[in-house]
Structure 1
């Protein structure tokens, strides 16, 4: 096997990695509890999309083909001030790394397949003298690991430890129409309520937002409303996310997709019956909307419910409703499935607990089914 990745466009590859990490898989789904390393070329050094990443979870890895000059140094200083760790990729000679750059980075990655082994001790000493950790990459045998460990390397990467794992799931993009509309709304200094309305009209964008917002919080937290997710991310970060998504494949028009229409209709129906069931509890209505979205979104993305919920980082209450039909949200989901024609177990008892007559439920269901995703 060739121990290397073949990349033709550094900037495009990095933008896609960022998008996958924060909006497709979610940081928890991609990294677990580990720190991620993201390759960045010269063009990406100044990219706004880097600010979508959590500095506590990611180290930015400056590619070996980046010529170190004053502009690069300035960007490194800016990123360090933003809280990021920096690494130098594929270092093979201390002579090729200016001392002033070693002072700006935290990790020096040494390419064992290219370095002259006689130069390795001096290279490790120089990195340590500058206060950097040394990561030996492309370690392929037990003997290589033992040898490099004895020379003082701190971290290791390579086939000896694990083969690369390719994460995959169905790519579902937010529509360009919805993203352009969101960008227009963001440009007008909108209210939180206006932003919430735009996000809720796009089930895919909502799922991506919740993954992004969840990356900044702990798993198993209490319910996080859509408005709270927007507040946690911030309008500037939301605009960056929308702009980055515009570069992805966004040809899908939501109003032309029956499955996404069904996802949205279920969510709106559950939100409506929650509002009638407990009129003074906006958080319940919001959680009901999210339950409706995420109870079907795994079908859109080609995952299991458990996989999607793990990425999105929903509250335990929403998870229990979707996986086990537990609690008030479980009752609302049972009623929604009943109205959609699915065989919903415990439907009679769920209907009784909701306390809403069948005539009123039918009217709310019709309103939700007839509502357009495009607004």
Structure 2
């Protein structure tokens, strides 16, 4: 009776995943979207690259269409530090990121690696005592601060002077006389003066003569647009995760929620290898990732990812690709519990293996390249990439289940395999209701 029920369920539910092979999940479907990021070089007086300004872009068109400063900045952060990766975007250079007063006061900024980022205070920011206190706190945490589009030292700009490391001078808005006067007023500033919107050799030469150290503008390079394709984030799962975090749910509940958002787990793991976190030890399970990253960090990044999704017009929807990854992970867990009842280590790592086995499809990059960038235990890497160890064997079984309607694998009971498939699908569908 159980076998017949399982076959009926398989025909109605499993088809969604098994009849749709991983090869069918190609770019161009609604499960994917393209993420864009603008990047403009900043150079020193010898025209050597020292930093990039990171700019919001919503398409390949090299223009900024910003309707909401907070959403635009969160999209920039997500695309630079998650989708594209800080190594590809910045290398060993600094990244300037525009921040509004709203975002400056939000602890979302605490997710950023302070050694890689310059927070660029927009000229629209209203200076208040709480803001000054917050800026002082950010500096204590190791962040560099810059003033954007400075054209005069009014009361607000003077209040910011002791707290910033870099002053960006807007050449377009200044006459030659005004520029000389402003630089003279900044003679005692201990930080770096940066001339922005430098369009000609004459402007560059004049700024160097005045003692300005860094430069940005069309004379050196126009912004370029970087892009990558990624699976659309599962907003349902992220909202569920945030709800659990807000209600102080225990780590086991958080782990269950994260298992339904494999893309979020990958993002968090990727970030843990680049951001300034205390521990960067390899992890082998979702539970370990929660312990290493910490609840506060997971909450901030989940909120940021939701903001960024809104900024890039990603529609909230169920993503079959992410559900397939969750299903594969759950099948791995159930197989581990059945086949290795005494191996707690195998059971705890099984879901992670199932998820990582689809990482190349999730992020549209070579599997070995992505996994090498993650803080994953070597045994897990060998299981995914080489099929080694007990987990590698269970992964082969799991992939066979997806490719065969009624798998008959030597050494495995067919009814047990069908039961595992059914329970995994039931789990994913019940969690998404």
**Which residue is 2:146 aligned to?**
87
Per-residue deviation, 1:146: 5.0
**Which residue is 2:23 aligned to?**
none
Higher alpha-carbon deviation: 301-310 or 204-213? 301-310
- On the 8 A contact 1:325/1:331 being kept in 2, the answer is yes
Consecutive unaligned residues in structure 1, runs of 5 or more: 343-347
Secondary structure at the aligned position of 1:259 is classed as helix
Higher relative contact order (CA 8 A, sep 6+): 2
The verdict on how the C-alpha distance between 1:69 and 1:186 changes in structure 2, with shifts beyond 3 A counting, is: closer
Secondary structure at the aligned position of 2:234 is classed as coil
- On the 8 A contact 2:144/2:165 being kept in 1, the answer is yes
Higher strand share: 2
Residue-by-residue CA offset, 1:6-27 (whole Å, 9 max, x unaligned): 5332222123223434554454
- Is 2:427 the counterpart of 1:367? no
Counterpart pick for 1:175 among 235, 240, 257: 235
Counterpart pick for 1:289 among 333, 351, 367: 351
**Which residue is 2:18 aligned to?**
none
Q: CA separation in 1, counterparts of 2:145 and 2:245? A: 32
- On the 8 A contact 1:135/1:153 being kept in 2, the answer is yes
The verdict on how the C-alpha distance between 1:230 and 1:158 changes in structure 2, with shifts beyond 3 A counting, is: farther
- On the 8 A contact 2:270/2:373 being kept in 1, the answer is yes
Counterpart pick for 2:264 among 205, 209, 215: 205
The verdict on how the C-alpha distance between 1:135 and 1:300 changes in structure 2, with shifts beyond 3 A counting, is: same
Consecutive unaligned residues in structure 2, runs of 5 or more: 1-60
Superposed, which structure 2 residues align to 1:59-70 within 5 Å?
Answer: 59-70=118-129
**Which residue is 2:109 aligned to?**
50
Per-residue deviation, 1:104: 0.7
Per-residue deviation, 1:253: 4.5
Aligned residues: 361
- On the 8 A contact 2:62/2:224 being kept in 1, the answer is no
- Is 2:329 the counterpart of 1:267? yes
Residue-by-residue CA offset, 1:175-212 (whole Å, 9 max, x unaligned): 33x33332332233222222112211322332333233
The verdict on how the C-alpha distance between 1:98 and 1:204 changes in structure 2, with shifts beyond 3 A counting, is: closer
Superposed, which structure 2 residues align to 1:43-192 within 5 Å?
Answer: 43-94=102-153, 98-120=157-179, 123-124=182-183, 126-127=185-186, 129-140=188-199, 144-145=203-204, 147-159=206-218, 160-161=220-221, 163-170=223-230, 172-176=232-236, 178-192=237-251
**Which residue is 2:21 aligned to?**
none
Superposed, which structure 2 residues align to 1:307-318 within 5 Å?
Answer: 308-309=370-371, 314-318=376-380
- On the 8 A contact 2:234/2:316 being kept in 1, the answer is yes
Per-residue deviation, 1:28: 4.3
Per-residue deviation, 1:155: 2.8
The verdict on how the C-alpha distance between 1:221 and 1:184 changes in structure 2, with shifts beyond 3 A counting, is: closer
Q: CA separation in 1, counterparts of 2:138 and 2:239? A: 29
Residue-by-residue CA offset, 1:297-323 (whole Å, 9 max, x unaligned): 442444443565466554555445444
Instruction: Supply the RMSD in Å over aligned alpha carbons.
Output: 3.7
Q: CA separation in 2, counterparts of 1:115 and 1:96? A: 18
- On the 8 A contact 1:27/1:311 being kept in 2, the answer is no
Q: Structure 2 length as normaliser, TM-score?
A: 0.69
Secondary structure at the aligned position of 2:120 is classed as strand
The verdict on how the C-alpha distance between 1:246 and 1:113 changes in structure 2, with shifts beyond 3 A counting, is: same
- Is 2:298 the counterpart of 1:238? yes
Per-residue deviation, 1:61: 0.6
- On the 8 A contact 1:140/1:158 being kept in 2, the answer is yes
Higher alpha-carbon deviation: 81-90 or 271-280? 271-280
Higher alpha-carbon deviation: 129-138 or 362-371? 362-371
- Is 2:412 the counterpart of 1:357? yes
Q: CA separation in 2, counterparts of 1:337 and 1:328? A: 15
